[in-house]
Structure 1
Amino acid sequence: MDRIAKDVGDIQARLTDHRPVVQGELRYFVAEFEEKRGFRESRLLENLDKTVVETTEQVVPKCVESMKEQLCEVFERLEAANHMAQRIQQRELEAQESTHLQEFAERHKQDWEEFLKEQTVLKEQVDEEHAKAVSRLSAQYSVMKKELAKFSHF
């Protein structure tokens, strides 16, 4: 019975004690990444670091310089386009103002013609009234002349 208890104790220790299994896995992991791969990951990281440094020191300044040159050219073109748009807008405004001035001149000319027509009508009315007054006065003077002639025969 002691032997059975001892065997059961060994089985239980093996089932519950995971240290040997974990240690084996750790040794395998270290061997895989350090020994078999020969520090391949660290070399890759070093190469990446060199690439980043090279990019930062050489490529980025070239790109910035090129960008500045291109932006200056784009800015100049944009200013030229803006100037042209302003000139077109100014011409359109002048054309509208000219059209408005022409319309105003036409309206003014029509108003002047109407005014002249009204003045002609008023002149005719005044001439007519004057003619009537002259004829009335002439008639009155001829009556007065006749009456005066009657008194002068005596």
Structure 2
Amino acid sequence: MSGSSTISPPKASGASPQTQSPKPRDSGSSVAPATQLIIKDVGEIHSRLLDHRPVIHGETRYFIKEFEEKRAYRELRVLENVKNSISEASDHILPKCTDSLQDQLGQMLKTLETANHTIRRLQQREQEHAKKDAEKAENKKLHAKWEAFMKEQEQRRLDLDDEQRKAVQRLRDQYAGMDKELAKMASF
């Protein structure tokens, strides 16, 4: 409420003729004292109703006072505690965690390498067994084919032996017949 007598009302396009100071028609005339009082009253009314700066300044001062005194810098203390916790964590806890992590990762890496080596050996053994199984299966197939071939050859041999026996028997019969005929011819 800092209304002063030197404050003049704002000039608006829609202002009433009473709020605007009348323009003198001649340069030598001065404004009447009643008009000056009206202008002063209008200025005070304007500052009380439309000028909110004093109220805002008061509210701002009240807020700052409440924040600083009643809360007693609680937020600042909380922020300092957080800062201390962070610095302690970064100075002490983080290096310990990093060292522990390095140790654990080294041990884990060794364990994984051992497991990897074992798995490779098992995989090689499995491949060797699979290769041997494939070879055995191939050998069985070849053996089965060989047996079939040998049976076929045996059958052919038997057939040839039978044919040879028949041929020998025919030749014997033929030669025996020829001998008989020779003997008949020789006896005549």
The TM-score with structure 2 as length reference comes to: 0.65
* 1:22 and 2:56 are equivalent in the alignment: yes
How much does 1:9 deviate?
4.9
- Amino acid of the residue matched to residue 116 of structure 1? M
Which digits, 9 at most, give the CA deviation of each residue in 1:6-42, with x for residues without a partner?
6565333201011110111121122223344444433
Q: CA–CA distance in 2 between the matches of 1:5 and 1:113?
A: 134
Deviation track 1:66-104 (CA, whole Å, cap 9, x = no partner) reads: 111111222222223333333333333333333333333
Instruction: Give 2:107's aligned amino acid.
Output: E
Take 1:11 and 1:139, find their aligned partners in 2: how far apart are those partners?
162
Instruction: Give the match for residue 93 of structure 2.
Output: 59
Worse-matched range after superposition: 49-58 or 139-148 = 139-148
Higher Cα radius of gyration: 2
Q: Determine if the alignment matches structure 1 residue 102 to structure 2 residue 136.
A: yes
Superposition pairs of residues 39-78 of structure 1, within 5 angstroms: 39-78=73-112
Structure 2 gaps, min length 5 = 1-33
Counterpart position of 1:32: 66
Letter of the structure 2 residue corresponding to residue 21 of structure 1: V
1:145 is matched with 179
Higher helix share: 1
C-alpha distance in structure 1 between counterparts of 2:186 and 2:140, whole Å: 66
Q: Give the letter aligned to residue 121 of structure 2.
A: R
Give, in whole Å, the separation in 1 of the partners of 2:153 and 2:70. Answer: 118
How many residues end up aligned between the 2 structures? Answer: 154
CA positional deviation for 1:122: 0.9
CA distance in 1, matches of 2:40, 2:140: 127
Q: Which amino acid aligns with 2:82?
A: L
User: For 1:17, what is the secondary structure of its paired residue?
Assistant: coil
Spell out the pairing of 1:115-154 with structure 2 (5 A cutoff). 115-150=149-184, 152=186
> Higher relative contact order at CA 8 Å, sep ≥6: structure 1 or structure 2?
2
TM-score by length of 1: 0.76
- 1:13 equivalent to 2:52? Answer no
- The percent identity for this pair of structures is 45
1:150: how far off? 4.9
Structure 1 vs Structure 2 CA RMSD: 2.9
